[in-house]
Amino acid sequence: MKALGKNVILYFAFQKQNIKTLLQYRGDFLMMIVFTLFSQGCSLGLIYIIYSNIPQVGGWTMWEICLLYGFLLFSEGFINFFFQGAWKVTNMIYMSDLDRFLTRPVSVGLQLLTAKIDFEGLNKMVIAAALLGIGIGKCEIHWTVFKGICFLVFLGEACVIRLCMIWIASCMSFWMKSKSNSLNYFVISLGEMAKYPLAIYPPVFQGIFGYLIPYAFVSYYPVGCILEKEGMAAGAACTPLVCLVMAAAAYLVLKRGLRRYESTSH
């Protein structure tokens, strides 16, 4: 417990340093906000245009899709803002930056996770929160206290599952030993699939991109459960389990990977 507290304090200390580095490029900050707003606007525009022609996709209405989108965008923003370091693992291994981390008496995982911060994430989280708000307002959901708690838990779990996905994909660099690793980019791109209900894809795709890479538990089951759609409860109940499995896998991959790590001498 004490160790955990120490890590939390350290986490904030590291992030504080990261924020300082951002002040270097103040002008870009505004530009980034405009760009993010713009690109998210376009993605939402796509959904709007599709729905302006038809009433529903795979039995889901536009506002329900908004909730799916919100879950995905929120988890993406969460990673960008709090744990953007997950993206830098490849580069760190290649450049032997990891040596520096290994000499410190702090867990390597924590140092890697806090290697970078990206304010775009905050922006994304705000947009996602607004989307979720609008979506919830427009969908007729029978709220209970339990459901409210579930909603927040699901959102948290979506963030954890997605973080673990990227983390595992990034850590594959321990084995690949190349300058770049596109797996993590591939994994995040697959999020595109989770913006629409899983049921519209053929079974093979569902199996691979819904369960093997567990995107079904990021958005489809949680949102389906909150909207009280049929056959969602069982899937939603499995989310904590998936979450745990992913976290354990992420931990193992780092541990195994570090054992394999051999620095290129400088």
Partner 1 sequence: MKKYLAYLRCGFLDGCAYRQYFITGMLANFIQAVVLFFVWKSIFHYQEVISGYTWEIMKQYVFVSFLCNSIFSMGFEMDAAERIIKGDIILDLLKPVSYRTMLFFRMLGTAGMEFAVTFVLVGGIYLCINGVQYLDFFRTVLFLIALLMGMGIKFCLQYLFSLLCFYTDNAYGVSKARETLTNFFSGALVPLAMFPGILREAVNFLPFRGIVYTPCCIFIGFFSIRECIFNIFLQFIWILVLGGLGTLLGKKAFSVISMYGG
Residues that bind partner 1 (CB under 8 A): 25, 27-28, 31-32, 35, 38-39, 42-43, 45-46, 49-50, 52-58, 180, 182, 185-186, 189-190, 192-193, 195-196, 200-202, 205
Nearer to partner 1 (CB atom), residue 179 or residue 256: 179
Least distance to partner 1 from the beta carbon of 53, Å? 5
Least distance to partner 1 from the beta carbon of 218, Å? 15
Least distance to partner 1 from the beta carbon of 50, Å? 7
Nearer to partner 1 (CB atom), residue 27 or residue 105: 27
DSSP code per residue over 78-118: HHHHH-GGGGTHHHHHHTTTHHHHHTSSS-HHHHHHTS---
Least distance to partner 1 from the beta carbon of 143, Å? 29
Nearer to partner 1 (CB atom), residue 19 or residue 200: 200
Nearer to partner 1 (CB atom), residue 32 or residue 232: 32
Rounded distance, CA 164 to CA 216, Å?
Answer: 14
Which is nearest to 159 in space by CA: 181, 133, 129? Answer: 129
- Phi, psi dihedrals of residue 246, rounded to the nearest 5°: -65, -45
Least distance to partner 1 from the beta carbon of 20, Å? 17
What tokens does 164 get? 């673990």
DSSP element (H, E) containing 220: helix 220-226
Tell me whether residue 248 is exposed, middle or buried, using C-beta atoms within 10 angstroms of its C-beta: 0 to 12, 13 to 18, 19 or more: exposed
Nearer to partner 1 (CB atom), residue 10 or residue 57: 57
